[in-house]
Amino acid sequence: MLMQLLAAATVTLAGLYLLLLGVAAFAAPALARRFLFGFAGSARLHALELAVRVWVGGALVLHAERLPWSTGFAIAGWVLLVTTAVLALVPWRLHRRFAAWSVARAVRHLGLLGAASIAFGCVVLIAVARSIA
């Protein structure tokens, strides 16, 4: 019961994170860019990112059966878990270089990234709300 509650809370927070990232992309683009460029900025941030990804991925897998579109949420959770396992095997300096390269390309399309973040955040929050109702 407690594990399900923690999983539901984590999925809800992940939805809020996506929603806020999307809003920031439009309302405070410089802040959003700075935040995104911070990924893998140090060994400590690399480890923190991996821990958060495992936590959220596990929560998605665990809570997916209670959500509408459960297959999609389960797949998203497993993708997070598998890609995190790969990142855990990569030295953080290499992860930092890849993050800098990929974020530089992503922020060129910050509006699209913001819109997608808002859309996916809303999907997550709507799914959680429907699972409660």
**Number of structural domains the chain divides into:** 1
Examine the pLDDT at 39 and tell me if it is beyond 80: no
Neighbours of 11 (CB within 10 A): 25
Q: Contacts by 2-5 with C-beta closer than 8 Å and gap 24+?
A: 3/62, 4/62, 4/63, 4/66
How do residues 66-124 score in pLDDT, each as one tens digit? 999 999 999 999 999 999 999 999 998 898 898 889 999 999 999 999 999 999 999 99
pTM > 0.95: no
pLDDT at res. 41: 79
Q: What is the mean pLDDT of residues 48-77?
A: 97
- For residue 21, give its domain range: 2-132
Select from 66, 79, 74 the least CA-distant residue to 128. 66
